[in-house]
Structures are given as C-alpha cells and as structure tokens.
Amino acid sequence: MTTYPIQRNIQFIFDTLAAIKGNEESEYYIFGGWVRDMLRGEIPKDIDVWVSNHTHAMRYKKMLHIFGILVSSTVDLNSQYAVHKLQVRAPTNEILNIDLVTDEGSELSRQWSVVADFTLNNLIFLPDGTIRTRISTLTDNDNVTHDGFLFNMECIRDAIQGNLKWIVPKFMMEMYTTKKKYITNPNGEPFRTIWLPKLIKRFEHMRSKGFIYKGTLTGFELKQEITVSHLKPNNDTTPLLCSICQESYCYDTKKSSSVLECGHHFHQLCITEWELKKDDCPLCRTKIKRQYLK
C-alpha cells in the first residue's frame, strides 16, 4: 500500500507523541487549522498539536533534541495560547512546523478558551484517524443543544465550505455586552482586558484568509460598527489614517475600522486596546462612544 508523505509525517508525529506518553494517562491530537485545511484540500502551513500537560510538552521537545531532529524551538506568548513553535525534521526529510499547545500553557482554562472560536476550527484529528469535535456539546441562546453526529457534520461542512460561525459561551456574551471593563471569567481573569482584542484579531485573521462570515451558533456577535467606508466621500485624495498606529485603512482592508460619535476614526482593534486603558478619544479627549449600524 502506498503511503503519501503527509500520511508518513502525521504518523511520525503520533508515534513520537506516543513514545513520550509511556504508560501515563495522556491525550494528544491534531486540531484547528490543519484539520480544516485538509478537509478543504489545501496544504496546511503548520500542524497544531495538543498535549495534556506542560510536562509532556517539555519531554517531547527534549526527545526531539536528543534524536537530533529538533531544528528550532521558540515560545509565542502573543497568540490565543502560549504556543511552543517547533521546526522538526521528519523521516521524509521535510521540515515540519509544529505548534505545540497544552492546557497549562493557555491563558485561560480549556473549558472556556477553546470555545471562543468558529465551528470550522472546532475539529480534532485523533491517532486512530477519526475526526470529531473538540467542543462536543454546546447550548445556544434558544436553549437548543448542539451535539453528537449532526454537530460533528455541521462543523465539517463549515470547514469545507469556509463558513465562519461563532461558538461563544453565554457568560462570555454577558461579559462582552456589559459596560464593566474588568468583569472576570470563572478563573478570575479579566475578560475585556484579555479577550475582546483577541476576538477582534481572530475575526479579522480568519476573514483575511477568505472565509465568509455566516453568523453565530450561540448568539454571540461582534457588533457591526460604523466604519470609514460609511463616511461621505470628499475631494481630498489624502489616504485616511488610523491616528493610533498611523497606518492607512487602504493598507490592510481586512482590518475593521471604527468611527466614534465625536467623528474621529481608528482601527477597531487599536481603539479597543486604547479604551482598555483610557475612556477618552485619543484626539479630542471626549468620552469614547461607539456608533453601530442599525
């Protein structure tokens, strides 16, 4: 039977993970973008791997180093999780980009952090070759439960079609709509300080890949703000800039902008991060008030 390079590479990852597990109770799988892109017939740029704990992650890196196949290793603290970014030489002699994630490496608990995403990213690939949902059960605003085979197939369909549908738990929606900036999650961490900018970044990143927004499963919506594209055109040909980052809105059209009631405009992410520190407009110092489409 012919074994293709990508199959050999994935088998290699699972075999090396099994080696560091030993007789201990441990779970590991491939998740997120790799599963989504494979279903879409695309070649993933990296492989997202989840392991149960930090000890196993360190043991895995050490083993790869001893075998002389760990090309490089860094830690990215700016993503949704603390990610160990590895470059590993596979038996095919290909360099694999592996993003290694653990529960203990995430900023927030697994129960709430992984669910703040989209259905097309809610898939995992197991060592036995099966695909299932990472979050297996959720309840929407109408108290309808999504689970089992149909939910699994819905996530697979959204991955293949490129549909963006939010999966966000109810308590996160309450935190999002509240006026209080530092309300905390069940672990005591501030929601708006950590997650609102990350949700905006996540949304813009996925849209930049060409995925189409199709709404939400659990009632969560990033409110659609009035943007610079809604401003009346004038004869001035000077490109509009975000006054915080000094970047033209034309430079990256996938970045959402925001026009405040005072008339000043910024990238939505820029003004959100500013607002977490100060309540007034960076330019005129009036209180920040967002404008939303009706």
- Does residue 193 register a pLDDT over 90? no
Q: What angle do CA 96, 98, 101 make, to 5 degrees?
A: 170
Domain 225-294 in CATH: superfamily?
Zinc/RING finger domain, C3HC4 (zinc finger) (3.30.40.10)
Question: For residue range 220-255, what is the model confidence (pLDDT) as tens digits?
Answer: 777 777 888 887 666 665 668 899 999 888 876 667
Residues sharing a CB contact under 8 Å with residue 17, sequence separation 6 or more, in sequence order: 28, 49, 51, 60, 127
Question: For residue range 90-136, what is the model confidence (pLDDT) as tens digits?
Answer: 998 999 999 998 865 443 344 444 457 899 999 999 999 999 998 88
Higher pLDDT, 192 or 11: 11
Mean pLDDT of 32-45: 91
Instruction: List, by residue range, all CATH 3.30.40.10 domains of the chain.
Output: 225-294
pLDDT value of residue 139 = 77
Mean pLDDT of 16-33: 83
Higher pLDDT, 201 or 266: 266
Pair of tokens at residue 62: 């050490």
Among 44-48, 110-114, 208-212, 258-262, name the one with the lowest average pLDDT. 110-114
pLDDT value of residue 110 = 43
Residue identified by tokens 């005072």 is 262
Instruction: List, by residue range, all CATH 3.30.460.10 domains of the chain.
Output: 5-163
Higher pLDDT, 188 or 16: 16
For the segment(s) 5-163, the CATH number from 3.40.50.300, 3.30.565.10, 3.30.300.180, 3.30.460.10 is 3.30.460.10
